[in-house]
Structure 1
Amino acid sequence: MSSISLSPTDHVFVLTGAGISAESGLPTFRASDGLWAGHRVEDVCTPEALSENPALVWEFYSQRRAQGSTANPNPAHVALAQLEAKLGDRFFLCTQNVDDLHERAGSQRLVHMHGELAKSRCEDDCGRPPVPDTAVYKSLDEVPRCACGARLRPHIVFFGEIPLEMDRIQREIDRATVMVVIGTSGSVYPAANFVNWARHNGARTIYIGPERPLNAQAFTTIVEGKAGEVMPGLFHVE
């Protein structure tokens, strides 16, 4: 495919999903059998699961931390960091992923709307900010306590919880003239609606992934292929 041109006035909003991390060897959110790394999502990724069985929740996310530490950014992560370096504050990245592959590739202007695997926060939401935490805990007794006394929990947005930084995300969508969606099927809300919001504002909408998304009709351009193969050199900054 020929390159996609970006003008000197374009503001680019990028949304990434599990597909871009899958190309680095990390499993996607749900397998075909409906399980996530061998667990029902309801058992490891809901507020109820944390309340009823915090040991299992922490075991699951400790395993994910161990797994994530072995993965490396792929060419798509690097290409996005390079695009940001060219566009400066006209670039914004929102990821649904909880890994740190974007940061390790060099991205800086980004938010993790579903939280970050390498951080923990107060289980009681006492107001203290999340803290860096990459430990792989072998038991619940090892999990540290917040300064308020409550146990820490993974800094992950569970099902039923509100995604993070939605006000900032909305502001960035409102000023975007180009929206690029990479590796997300269009089935998880509210992220699946971002392209519709941008399209309503007149933005060009571009999808990149190995297969057509569920919301394909919302895109002005669809680039089928692995992000790590098509992203390098795809965008030409004028």
Structure 2
Amino acid sequence: MRFLNKTTLVTGGASGMGAATARLFKAEGAHVFIVDRNEAMARETAQAIGATALVGDVGDSKFCDDAVAEVVRQRGRLDVCVNAAGIIARATGLDTSDEDWQRMLAVNVSGVFYMCRAAIRLMKAQGAGATGVAGAVVNFGSIWGELSGAGALAYAASKGAVHQITRTFAIEHARDGVRVNAVCPGEVNTPMLRSAGRAVPLTDEQLREMGERVVPLGRLAEPEEIARTVLFLASDDAAHVQGQELFVDGGATA
């Protein structure tokens, strides 16, 4: 077990890729804290896997500080922070409302920054010790932080910002023993892909056709495939990986 007795915090951990990540960390021996604004889903997922639910909005800096403080109160330290919380608005630039733009930045950009800041501040204070490792942070970027495309300007801009947040924190805290990297999924079979921002949710057949059409490997990724990459980046197997964006996209960015 790579994370036996380690303490892990996963934002957006109630569903989709965040929930898959939380489950795998738990299976690898970690004590897991799930952070999500959906209280019912957070508590349901936490109960199902034996995790602890912390309910709140990552777009609130005080909540992020308080969440990390609560982890320390219960466990004494934080070893891994995964920022998987995110939302999407499907609109062209001209059709993006002020409300959608601000909400996208609040969750996808500010939420990542606030939680990174709180977690890294703690990890730096913990110190690297004899192992040379003070902690690991894995942010969820996206292929849309790298590629251009019509119809989701705010989302693409927010993920580009996450990539820069990741790189900069990685440079600033490498000598503190804090590793910071990003996983960048392509199209993944999640509730967000199926229904978020859509007037009518996609059917299973439509999702299958999407995978065949847009992914070189011919299918959508499953949440567990992204989660396994997160665990790699957070583990000692990636001890010399710093400030990187690891694309898990079936070849879309090749």
Please tell me whether Structure 1 or Structure 2 has the larger radius of gyration of its CA atoms. Answer: 1
Please state which structure has a larger fraction of its residues in strand: 1
Q: Which has the higher helix share?
A: 2
